[in-house]
Amino acid sequence: MVLIIYRSCLSCFCTYPQSHRSENAVRIDIEEQAGQILPYKPAMKRHMTYSAESIKDSAPFTLDGTSLIDVEDGFELMDEWEDRYRYIIELGRKLPPLSQDAYTDDNKVRGCTSQVWLVAEKEGSGARLTFRGDSDAHIVKGLVAIMLLIFSGKTPAEILEIDARATLEKLGLRQHLSPMRANGLFSMLERIKDMARAEKTA
């Protein structure tokens, strides 16, 4: 089923014409009312086929069945950033919970306006890393989810080779986040790279 949200249904976010509202105002309203927002569901997903051998080694990391490719496809289907903010918030709700002992200063990401925690875990006895994270802000939780989708399930060497900034540019996040939020996003990126470097040299 496809959920269609008509502009008239969003009147709760403003008392003046939508065309006069800034992206920042829309973002703030959506975040403040996140608990009342219906989840946005993309209309379709790109079909992907894997060979039996490739599934083991290269199947994409997912959060509750959502992969990075699904996020890219979802963004392409949405014309308004208002809808993309909703989608980002919904991604944050897919984050698995962190254990209480993970909420430490050592795991906190510096440079974020909101509080963000990131931890890295090895997958079994292999060299691949899975990242887990959380934040105290709705949209930032969604940005954490995007970082996990980009980097989790890869080796330290692969993580260091990823051009995550190009992915973020493709999604348009740098242009449509406030400067402070964008700086926080890149702080997350650098923290993950630092963890990969430390793991590679361990």
| Window from 1-5, 28-32, 49-53, 67-71 with minimum mean pLDDT | 49-53
Using CA atoms, how far apart are residues 156 and 129, in angstroms rounded to an integer? 7
What is the extent of the structural domain holding 16? 7-44+58-201
Q: What is the pLDDT of residues 170-197, one digit of tens each?
A: 999 988 999 999 999 999 999 999 999 9
Q: State residue 202's pLDDT score.
A: 74
Q: Can you give the CATH number for the domain in which 147 is found?
A: 3.90.1010.10
Position 169 scores a pLDDT of 93
Whether 135 has a pLDDT exceeding 90, the answer reads yes
- Is 180 or 50 the better-scoring residue by pLDDT? 180
Of the two residues 34 and 82, the one the predictor is more confident about is 82
* Separation between Cα atoms, residue 180 and residue 193, nearest integer Å: 20
Classify residue 34: in a domain, yes or no. yes
Q: Is residue 52 part of a domain?
A: no
> What are the backbone angles phi and psi of residue 155, rounded to the nearest 5°?
-75, 160
For the question of residue 12 being annotated catalytic, the response is: no
Q: Identify the pLDDT of residue 104.
A: 97
Instruction: Answer with the residue of higher pLDDT: 102 or 6.
Output: 102
Work out how many domains the chain is built from and give that number: 1
Among 9, 12, 14, 112, which one carries the catalytic annotation? 112
The pLDDT of residue 24 = 52
Q: Provide the whole-model pTM.
A: 0.74
What pLDDT, on the 0 to 100 scale, is given for residue 127?
84
DSSP 39: P
- What is the mean predicted confidence (pLDDT) over 125-150? 93
User: What's 31's DSSP letter?
Assistant: H
For residues 9 and 69, give the distance between their C-alpha atoms in angstroms, rounded to a whole number.
29
Distance between CA atoms of residues 125 and 66, nearest Å: 25
User: 162 lies in a domain?
Assistant: yes
Domain contains 2: no
- Is residue 164 scored above 80 in pLDDT? yes
